[in-house]
Amino acid sequence: MKLNIGIVGLPNVGKSTIFNALTETAKAGVANYPFCTIDPNVGIVDVPDERLQKLSEISNSEKIIPATIEFVDIAGLVKGASKGEGLGNQFLSNIRNVSAIAHVVRCFEDSDVVHVEGSVNPVRDAEIIETELILADLQTVEKRIEKVLKPAKSGNKEAKFELQALEKAKDILENIQPLRTNLDKFSEEEIEYMRKTIFPLTLKPIMYVANIGEEDLPEGEDNQYVKQIKEKAEKENAPVVVLSGKVEQELIEIPKEERKELLEAYGLKEPGLNKMIRTGYNLLDLITYFTTGEKETRAWTIKKGTKAPQAAGEIHSDFERGFIAAEVINYDELIKYGSMQKAKEAGAVRIEGKDYVVQDGDVMLFRFNV
């Protein structure tokens, strides 16, 4: 399942610092000047999940394999990107290829770190990028309208359907609004058409990442900039993750056994990046199911609403093709009984067929025949 999250933002807001901390690498260049990141950096990140350790203990597994999610660090954007300013065309091309957006906004003051707009204002910064994405989408929609207008007027049903969806999108974008906040104006078929045909940037789900200074930890509750971006996000029904990129970077630079002490010093229960990863996972509408045994305990990523045969297909295509049934027990139930054997003796392990919709936390064993 190829799903990824693009980390975007104006230059010098902390994108690459956060990306480096996420991936525990120094792949993304970090410097105090615009366009430090040119080509996108890609990192595969483990999804933190405490359930894996407990399942592994129950099964006495030799190893644990967590679910993963891909993050892409994309070059900083400036005004006029939709017209090719800065690295605009490259930026827009890169962002078109991701499944969702993590929009990093600067919520800290630091005279040593240049702000491309001259001052700290996260809402303004967010709107600069949003406007460029809207203008880029508007160009795409207008070009597509030119293509389908003639066949639509001649009575072609498919073209008429396209034109109807495109004209709705054009009206929204001309009012400088993103498509994702106007989904109620489209049918499900129209939304699906746009996602598969014109790949709108403003239709992608988004979360905001408020990058605060270490003095504002743990939650930045008194930080005026955090309050401002949360107010904007609330109107859009978008999640906000508050973290300090500087502290997250510090955490990965010290031995793992010392990290808990540093977290406690800042009043944190876990790294802020854990919240960012989980929020990204939810943003993509993903859930986790598990397989567990002596060899390994493993988390598998599927879209919410996936049925058992397709979930089995994530392990191997043969499992889906020859699917017969699945033995299923949810994680909480299994923990309650303490072992798979006791759960089976209590009749808590169910046999589910092809129409079963897999739930987050299901522990599954597939029966198949090829």
Would residue 178 count as lying in a domain?
A: yes
Q: Same domain, yes or no, for 312 and 260?
A: no
> Could you report the average pLDDT of every consecutive run of 10 residues in the chain (370 residues)?
83 88 60 43 88 97 93 71 50 84 93 77 93 92 96 94 97 97 96 94 96 94 96 96 95 91 94 92 94 97 97 96 97 96 96 98 94
For residue 329, what is the domain's CATH number?
3.10.20.30
Q: Same domain, yes or no, for 145 and 233?
A: yes
Q: Same domain, yes or no, for 333 and 256?
A: no
Instruction: Please count the structural domains in the chain.
Output: 2
Q: Same domain, yes or no, for 48 and 79?
A: yes
Query: The domain containing residue 346 runs over which residues?
Result: 305-368
Residue 15 in marked binding region:
yes
Residue 13 in marked binding region:
yes
Residue 92 pLDDT: 78
Would residue 70 count as lying in a domain?
A: yes
Residue 185 in marked binding region:
no
Q: Same domain, yes or no, for 180 and 323?
A: no
Would residue 296 count as lying in a domain?
A: no
Residue 12 in marked binding region:
yes
Residue 83 pLDDT: 58
Residue 16 pLDDT: 85
Residue 78 pLDDT: 53
Q: What is the DSSP string of 248-304?
A: HHHHHTS-HHHHHHHHHHTT-SS-HHHHHHHHHHHHTTEEEEEEE-SSEEEEEEEET
Would residue 299 count as lying in a domain?
A: no
Q: How distant, in Å, are the alpha carbons of 85, 100, 231 from that of 88? A: 5, 18, 28
Residue 116 in marked binding region:
no
